[in-house]
Amino acid sequence: MEGRAAEQQARLRALPAVHELLNDSRCRGWLHRHPRAVVVRAVQRALAAERRAILALPAGVPPALDRERLLGMIAAELDAQVRPNLVRVINATGVILHTNLGRAPLAADALAAIRETAAGYSNLEYDLPSGERGSRQAHVEGLLTELTGAEAAVVVNNNAGAVLLALSSLAAGREVVVSRGELVEIGGAFRIPDVMRRSGAVLREVGTTNRTHLRDYEEPIGEQTALLLKVHTSNFQVVGFTAEVPVEELVTLGQRRGLPVMVDLGSGCLIDLSRYGLSPEPTVQAQIRAGVDLVTFSGDKLLGGPQAGVVLGRRALVRKLRENPLHRALRMDKLTLAGLEATLRLYQDETRAVEVIPVLRMLLTPESALRRRARRVATMARAALGERCEVRVQAEHSQVGGGALPLLALPTRVVALRPRGESAAKLEERLREARPPVIARIREESLLLDVRTIADDELPLLRQALRALSLSW
Ligand SMILES: *Cc1c(COP(=O)(O)O)cnc(C)c1O
C-alpha cells in the first residue's frame, strides 16, 4: 500500500506545470488560433483528468509520463470547447421535414439573400422610393398575394404564432367553433388547442373525433360566435368511419351566418403534388379559391423556406392582425424575411422551384436517382469501413414528417450497414458522434442510411464522417 502511494506521488510530481505545457510548440500553435483562456482551461482540464487517472491506478504500475498522450488529451479538450454547439448534421433518416433536425434546408437563393442582407444594412423598414419609413411586410406581401390569389398577407415568426395572432385579433373573448377531430398536437406535447386558448378565444368543440357534420358547426352559432375554424390534420389521419365538412360547405355556412372562416393549413403547399404522382395535399391557392377568409401555414414545412408563420386572406381581417400589439411581439426577423422572400420568388417558376427548393427536390427525387446515390454511398462505406461492416443497398420507405402527408410512404433506397463484432446501436452512436454527425435509424441489427435526405453535395461530408469512424473503431 505504501509503495503504491509513493508511486502515485512520484507520478503526480512528474506532471508538467500548466505554464510548461503552454510553452510546448503545439500549445503555442493553439494559442495563435484560440483565446488564451480557452487553451489554459483545456490544459488544466487535461491535467486534472490525468491526476484522477493516476490516483485510480492499481499498485505496481511503473511511474511514467506520456507527454504525447497528455497533449492528445489537451487537443481533445480544446476541440470540445471550441466546437460550436449548433452544428450541421447529415440527415440519413429519410424524414424530409424532421422537426428535431431543423425542418427545411434552404435553397441556395435563400441562403444568398440572407447572407447579403445580414452582412450590412437593408431597407427592412425603409421605403426607398419615398425615403420614408416602410413596412417589413411589404417585401413579401406582393409575392404572397400574387402566388396565391389572396387579397392581403402578414407574416410572423412561426405558424403557432400566426394562429395565436389570428385568434387573438378576431375572436378574443368570443367563441371559435372547431371540430373535435381537428384538435391536433404538433409534437413535443405542443397542442394547438392550448395555443388557441392563450389567444383569449373560447373554443367551442363540436362533433366527435371521427365524424363532424355541417349541422354540428351550425348548432352552437350565436351572438358569441366570432369565427369558424378548420385545422388541417397534418400529422395524422383518421381512417374508417369518418366524416369532415369540406371547406366549401364551411365557407357557405360562414357567408350565410356572417362569420369569417379560417383554415390552419399547417404545411403551406403552393404546388399541386398530385401532378407529380403524389397524394394530393390541399394547396394554399385552393383554400383561397374556395373562399376561405384567412389561411395560416408554416414557412418551413412543405413551402421549404425559413421558419415563419404566414397568414393570407381578406384585407380587412389581415389589417386587424397587423394592428394587434401581439403582431409586434411575434414579428419575423430580417434574416427570415430575406430567406422567405427569396424562397417565394422561386415559386414564380414552378419547374425551377421543384428543382432548387431542397424539400421539393427531396420529395420528388426519382427512384433511379436514389438508386444511383445509394450505390455511391455503398461504395464509400465499403472503402471507409472495409471488413468491419457488411454493406448492402436495400429498398425501403421514407416519410415526409413535420406535419405533412402523414400516410405517405415514399419508396426509397437505403444503405444498410451491418457491423461485424459490434452492435448496430453502437455504430449508430459512433455515427452520431462523428464529424459531421450522421443521424440514421436502426432496423434489425443494421443501421439504415436513407439517401433521400442526403444531398449529393453532402456526400464528401458523409465520406469524411465514415472515414473518421473507421479510425475510432
Ligand atoms: C406545424 C403546425 C402548426 C405549427 O406550426 P409552426 O410553424 O411549427 O409553429 C400549427 N398547426 C398545424 C396544423 C401544423 O401542422
Tell the residue nearest (CA) to atom 3 of ligand 1: 266
CA atoms of 466 and 385, how far apart (whole Å): 7
Tell the residue nearest (CA) to atom 1 of ligand 1: 266
Cα(186) to centroid(ligand 1), Å: 6
409: its cell numbers: 410512404
Task: Give the least confident one: 1-5, 219-223, 419-423.
Answer: 1-5
Q: Assign 138 a pLDDT band (cuts: 50, 70, 90).
A: very high
394: its cell numbers: 436495400
pLDDT of residue 191: 81
Tell the residue nearest (CA) to atom 6 of ligand 1: 159
Per the model's pLDDT, the better-predicted residue between 408 and 76 turns out to be 76
Contact at 8 Å (CB) between 339 and 113?
Answer: yes
pLDDT value at 163 more than 70: yes
pLDDT of residue 305: 98
pLDDT of residue 472: 67
Cα(367) to centroid(ligand 1), Å: 30
Task: Give the least confident one: 9-13, 129-133, 203-207, 232-236.
Answer: 232-236
Q: Which pairing describes strands 126-127 and 175-179: parallel, antiparallel, or unpaired?
A: unpaired
Other beta carbons within 10 Å of 172: 14
Residue 27, amino acid: C
Ligand 1, pocket-test mutation among 100, 165, 183, 186, most atoms within 8 A of CB: 186
CA atoms of 97 and 252, how far apart (whole Å): 34
pLDDT of residue 61: 62
pLDDT value at 258 more than 70: yes
Ligand 1, pocket-test mutation among 98, 157, 231, 234, most atoms within 8 A of CB: 234
Cα(315) to centroid(ligand 1), Å: 23
Task: Give the least confident one: 368-382, 392-406, 440-454.
Answer: 392-406
Which among 242, 335, 255, 244 is positioned nearest to 292, based on CA atoms?
A: 255
Average pLDDT, the chain: 92
Ligand 1: residues within 6 Å at CB? Answer: 158-160, 163, 184, 186, 192, 231-232, 234, 264, 266-267, 298, 309, 403
Ligand 1, pocket-test mutation among 97, 155, 159, most atoms within 8 A of CB: 159
178: its cell numbers: 372547431
Tell the residue nearest (CA) to atom 8 of ligand 1: 159
pLDDT value at 60 more than 80: no
Ligand 1, pocket-test mutation among 264, 300, 405, most atoms within 8 A of CB: 264
Other beta carbons within 10 Å of 109: 17
pLDDT of residue 324: 97
pTM of the model: 0.91
Cα(271) to centroid(ligand 1), Å: 19
Other beta carbons within 10 Å of 41: 14
pLDDT value at 62 more than 60: no
CA atoms of 373 and 357, how far apart (whole Å): 19
Cα(405) to centroid(ligand 1), Å: 13
pLDDT, tens digit, 9 for 90 and up, residues 196-244: 889 999 999 998 878 889 999 999 999 999 999 999 886 666 667 777 8
Task: Give the least confident one: 99-113, 308-322, 323-337, 459-473.
Answer: 459-473
pLDDT of residue 3: 74
pLDDT of residue 158: 95
Tell the residue nearest (CA) to atom 14 of ligand 1: 266
Taking the domains of the chain in order of start, what are their residue ranges?
Answer: 2-81, 90-99+363-472, 108-353
Burial degree of 376 (CB within 10 A; 0-12, 13-18, 19+): middle
CA atoms of 280 and 273, how far apart (whole Å): 6
Burial degree of 442 (CB within 10 A; 0-12, 13-18, 19+): middle
Q: What is the 3-state secondary structure (H, E, C) of the chain?
A: CHHHHHHHHHHHHHCCCHHHHHCCHHHHHHHHHCCHHHHHHHHHHHHHHHHHHHHCCCCCCCCCCCHHHHHHHHHHHHHHHHCCCCCCCEECCCCCCCHHHCCCCCCHHHHHHHHHHHHCCCCCCEECCCCEECCCCHHHHHHHHHHHCCCEEEEECCHHHHHHHHHHHHHCCCEEEEEHHHCCEEECCEEHHHHHHHCCCEEEEECCCCECCHHHHHCCCCCCEEEEEEECCCCCCCCCCCECCCHHHHHHHHHHHCCCEEEEEEECECCCHHHHCCCCCCEHHHHHHCCCCEEEEECCCCCCCCCCEEEEECHHHHHHHHHCHHHHHCECCHHHHHHHHHHHHHCCCHHHHHHHCHHHHHHCCCHHHHHHHHHHHHHHHHHHHHHHEEEEEEEEEEECCCCCCCCCEEEEEEEEEEECCCCHHHHHHHHHCCCCCEECEEECCEEEEEHHHCCHHHHHHHHHHHHHHHHCC
pLDDT value at 51 more than 60: yes
Atom of ligand 1 nearest to the CA of 234: 15
Atom of ligand 1 nearest to the CA of 235: 15
Per the model's pLDDT, the better-predicted residue between 233 and 330 turns out to be 330
Per the model's pLDDT, the better-predicted residue between 384 and 61 turns out to be 384
CA atoms of 424 and 446, how far apart (whole Å): 5
Mean pLDDT of the region 306-311: 98
CA atoms of 321 and 323, how far apart (whole Å): 5
Domain made up of 90-99+363-472: CATH architecture: Alpha-Beta Complex (3.90)
Task: Give the least confident one: 16-25, 62-71, 73-82, 346-355.
Answer: 62-71
CA atoms of 428 and 440, how far apart (whole Å): 7
CA atoms of 52 and 46, how far apart (whole Å): 10
Per the model's pLDDT, the better-predicted residue between 62 and 273 turns out to be 273
CA atoms of 227 and 120, how far apart (whole Å): 43
Mean pLDDT of the region 271-300: 94
Mean pLDDT of the region 399-415: 82
pLDDT value at 1 more than 90: no
Tell me how many degrees the CA angle 217-164-229 measures, rounded to the nearest 5.
Answer: 15
Cα(195) to centroid(ligand 1), Å: 11
Residue 82, amino acid: V
Contact at 8 Å (CB) between 65 and 15?
Answer: yes
pLDDT of residue 308: 98
Task: Give the least confident one: 120-134, 187-201, 252-266.
Answer: 187-201
Cα(188) to centroid(ligand 1), Å: 12
The CATH class, in words, for 108-353 is alpha beta
CA atoms of 313 and 318, how far apart (whole Å): 7
pLDDT of residue 413: 97
